[in-house]
Amino acid sequence: MQGEMNFVIDGGAALSGKVETSRSKNGAVALLAASLLNRGRTTLHHVPNIEEVKRLVEVLVSIGVDVAWEKSSVVITPPEHLSLDAIDASAATRTRAILMFIGSLVHLFPSFSIPQSSGCTLGLRSIRQHLWVLEKYGITIETLTDCYRVTRTTLAPATIVLYEASDTATINALLAAAKIEGTTTIKYASANYQVQEVCGFLRALGVTVIGAGTSTLTVTGVSDINRTIEYAVAEDPTDAMFFITAAITTRSELTVVKAPIEFLEVELFVLEKMGLRYSLSNACVSENGITKLADIHLAPSELIAFPEKIHARPYPALNIDNLPFFAVIATQAKGTTLIHDWSYEKRAIYYTDLDRLGAITNLLDPHRITIEGPRALRAAEIICPPALRPATIILVAMLGANGRSILRNVYSINRGYEDIAHRLQELGASIEAIMEAV
């Protein structure tokens, strides 16, 4: 982006109407990485036009891939030969998703380097899982000062056990297995939505993948992939959760259309126990034939604190990216809510920014925080946290806070949400996106 985008929000007003769930950030970036497996043309439909996607498109273009936007579709045509000599390091370092390029690029180069990744600032985020997964195929990753050096000899199928059910490490394991003849078994795999997206895409490329949606994946690879295919990105559960949280915080009647319901079931169970009134309708399936959808109608509700700690676990449990939303929800629930954000060393610390909007939080340690409610939120001026999910909960809290708030430098939100200010305006929110020179 040129300059700095800020949001100016006059909060405290109820929202109303319907909002359609946007397509998945994490699914889209994984599919962009997976497209490098295909020597034919790949068309991805319903790609969110967000900063994270833009950075990966910039990387693809810099290594010689032809990428064209056609409305909300992205057409990807690989060249005869890729070159990493002029890779856009500036774009690559701004997204952790660049790590997933490794699983595809190992089929094209016996050795190569990619820039060190960053993404959200959430404390220690080791790549050791990726190293342990890929070494089973005969791949070595060396971490240097500013890049990862990747080398491999002859790739071979393997049985892989993940230390934990990492989404991106599972995807790298899938991409590496996709073009290795023979059968690979991936155990303790993530079954999360973006992994299921990649499984569906690989099947469209002719790769046999068994076990999608479970913790054990069996992949029978093919040595060459050259197909002209089209594939649609599915709906994003964290986008649906954003609007569920906005409805709760602003005490609004709102319908979230085409929410990926199987990836929200535990979240809705917790909210129901807290007193949320909602109903489901219009069950259907997304274009990928995998993701089950439903409309969620939300009614203004009086909430009480959840009697147990709220924490995330691998799918089908509460999603780690949806956990932060419960911090702002807790400000509207009577009693004390305990949130345990065990997977990141620093993310719970960002939740204390809610104090500036009138919340009462007590940080017990870098992973656990209690939040008292209900609280009448008040306006404030805050610099956006450098992490996507903590940033979005500040935005939601400002929607519920009486008075004019300013959220500065919202790049981290634009990494994952397309045109969020306009979508909120259509629901009646008073929010403006203002560009300032820096």
Helical segments of 250-346, H only: 265-274, 325-330
On whether the CB atoms of residues 367 and 348 are closer than 8 A, the answer is yes
Residue 73 dihedral angles phi and psi, to the nearest 5°: -105, 150
Its pTM stands at 0.95
Helical segments of 321-431, H only: 325-330, 347-350, 388-400, 411-414, 420-425
For the chain, 438 residues long, give each residue's pLDDT as a single digit of tens.
457 999 999 999 999 999 999 999 999 999 999 999 999 999 999 999 999 999 999 999 999 999 999 999 999 999 999 999 999 999 999 898 999 999 999 999 999 999 987 654 444 457 889 999 999 999 999 988 889 999 998 999 999 999 999 999 999 999 999 999 999 999 999 999 999 999 999 999 999 999 999 999 999 999 999 999 999 999 999 999 999 999 999 999 999 999 999 999 999 999 999 999 999 999 999 999 999 999 999 999 999 999 999 999 999 999 999 999 999 999 999 999 999 999 888 889 999 999 999 999 999 999 999 999 999 999 999 999 999 999 999 999 999 999 999 999 999 999 999 999 999 999 999 999 999 887
Give the tokens for residue 131: 């190293």
Cα distances (angstroms) measured from residue 222 to each of 181, 206, 217, 241: 5, 8, 16, 38
Report pLDDT for 381: 98
Give the tokens for residue 425: 């305006």
b/e per residue, 267-294, with b = 16+ CB within 10 A? bbebbeebebebeeeeeeebebebbebb
Give the tokens for residue 23: 């397509």
Q: How many CB atoms are closer than 10 A to CB 20?
A: 16
**Structural domains present in the chain:** 4-22+235-436 (3.65.10.10), 25-232 (3.65.10.10)
- Name beta bridge partners: 253: 16
Report pLDDT for 122: 45
Judged by DSSP in three states, 347 sits in helix
Report pLDDT for 143: 87
Report pLDDT for 2: 59
Question: What does the alpha-carbon distance between residue 52 and residue 394 come to, in Å, rounded to a whole number?
Answer: 20
Give the tokens for residue 296: 């969620």
On whether the CB atoms of residues 313 and 382 are closer than 8 A, the answer is no
Tell me the DSSP string of 221-272.
E-S-----EEEEPPBPHHHHHHHHHHHHHTT-EEEEEEEEGGGSHHHHHHHH
